[in-house]
Structure 1
Amino acid sequence: MTKSRALLLAENEIIETERCILRTLTLADSQDMFEYCSNPNVAKYTTFEPHQTLRESEEAIANFFIPDQLTKWAIELKKNNKMIGTIDMMAMTADSTEFGWAISEDYWGQGIVAEVARPLVKLAFEELGLIKIEAKHHVDNPNSGRVMAKIGMSYWGKNYISPEKYQTKSLEVAYYGMTKDDYDKLSMK
């Protein structure tokens, strides 16, 4: 009998990398989230506006992260047990998912997002049996595109997205993706 997708995700609720632990978010993470989500430099490249109050961070955790906790992880630094960002597999379908992340500006350019995304790519293709993963970034944030390329994704084009349930602003975005075939070719190297 094969394992359900929910069981496979539950078995991966904690994922360890060299510098980080991916784990479930809780309300105890509200202050750490507020620290980076209130930064306009972080928010300008995301689908959310800068958090103005700690309550906004609490609401984000309670309404966005906790209900879908099997596909959303806190990025916690091992060296200080501080939650410095989030990474998730949004809009999961029978055969694909979309990755998304936000990280404190203090940790930009250190390779942390690529480090924590790699085990999720492996999880998506090797354990969950997905055939495609995607990600998008604000066109004015090419650093996220470089992260996507580092984890094996290819540029697929640009699009314009308008506000949705968890998104408060319209964005011009660049799309990246990877298929299972792409992943298998990379894994053979």
Structure 2
Amino acid sequence: MIRKLETDRLLLRPFELSDANKVRLLAGDKDVASTTLAIPHPYPDGAAEQWIEAALQAAENGDRYAFAVVRKEDEELVGNMSIGIARHHNRAELAYWIGKPYWGQGYATEAARRMVQFGFEELELNRIHAAAMTKNPASYKVMINVGMKYEGTFPQHIMKWGQYEDLVFYGMMRTDLPKQMTFFI
């Protein structure tokens, strides 16, 4: 069982089946789905429940940790912050989405910083990376804000809704963290 993580304004906790309706509502928004690599639109019935169950099992296996990003002030679910582990290589991929009503409030950056800390300090990873569509600069701004460095652009790397999309990749290694850097908790 994964434990809860905290930041100043947020609680990152395991998803619960009771979150399914909110996940479907937020992730199923066309604007959210269009900027992610894997979220479908329209969001199929039952998909949120299946995804939550799979996420809980993956966490039990240590393969992926998906956290519900929840505001402390009102316990409102605002998004997802996940880290998928490639244990053999001691690295992980950071992935996230924030519901459209909560865009522009710094929640993704705040939660991503905590996930980077979790990855390096608790999972003892060597490397964390992330990818975003080039048409989603808000996403790679989060990557930059947590200390990741640009690693390259892969032209027409994925197909989303019948269109090829370019992906931009960012990453960091444990050694990239400045000695004086302290994470806000």
Q: Aligning the two structures, in what range does the TM-score lie when normalised by the shorter sequence? A: 0.7 to 0.9
**How far apart are the structure 2 equivalents of 1:93 and 1:184?**
24
Q: Note the C-alpha offset of 1:187.
A: 2.3
Pairing partner for 1:41 from 23, 31, 41: 31
Secondary structure of 1:97's partner?
A: strand
- What RMSD, in angstroms, separates the aligned Cα atoms of the two structures? 2.2
Correspondence 1:84 to 2:78: yes
Percent of residue pairs identical: 27
Correspondence 1:61 to 2:52: yes
The 5-angstrom pairing of residues 40-189 of structure 1 reads: 40-46=30-36, 47-63=38-54, 65-69=55-59, 71-94=65-88, 95-159=90-154, 160-162=156-158, 171-184=165-178, 187=181
Structure 1 segments of 4+ aligned residues over 3 angstroms from their partners: 51-54, 160-163, 167-171
**How far apart are the structure 2 equivalents of 1:172 and 1:106?**
26
Q: 1:158 to 1:45 in 2, by over 3 A?
A: same
Say how many residue pairs are matched: 174
**How far apart are the structure 2 equivalents of 1:128 and 1:37?**
27
Q: Note the C-alpha offset of 1:108.
A: 1.0
Q: TM-score, normalized by length of structure 1?
A: 0.82
Q: 1:52 to 1:133 in 2, by over 3 A?
A: closer
Segments of 5+ residues of structure 2 without an aligned counterpart are none
Q: Is the 8 A contact 1:88 1:101 kept in 2?
A: yes
Q: 1:19 to 1:98 in 2, by over 3 A?
A: same
Counterpart residue number, 1:18 = 8
